[in-house]
Amino acid sequence: MFNLSNIDKLDVLDLIDTHYWCMSDAEREFWKLVKVSPQIWKGSPSGKNYYSFWAVAIFGNKVIWYNHIEEGFELSEYSTLGEIDNYQATQAELHNVIKRCFPWK
């Protein structure tokens, strides 16, 4: 089916905790609304082979996920729950991804 992530859930939770403290109070409130317990979603950097990634927040048709290949958080759209539509490789820190999608700038 698809290759499993090489980072475990506890590692992702540690990364989230580190970046949480870099968020403003308002960004933390937004984060609390959109975060989910890390869950495996699939995505494809090449359009052929699928890999698993940790999805950490969902809102509207967007998902925030950890890209263990590039070692950074990403913001992508999805059309089917559990599948990332467009692979990203921005290597962003979580608090910077939250800043990009934070609606009350």
Domain ranges of the chain: 9-101
Phi and psi at residue 53, to the nearest 5°: -135, 155
Looking at residue 105, what is its pLDDT?
53
Q: Each residue of 58-81: b (16+ CB within 10 Å) or e?
A: beeeebbbbbbbeebbbbbebeee
CA distances from 23 to 26, 50, 78, 92, 105 (A): 8, 32, 25, 14, 13
Looking at residue 2, what is its pLDDT?
43
Looking at residue 88, what is its pLDDT?
82
**pLDDT < 50 positions in the chain:** 1-3
CA distance 40 to 99: 24
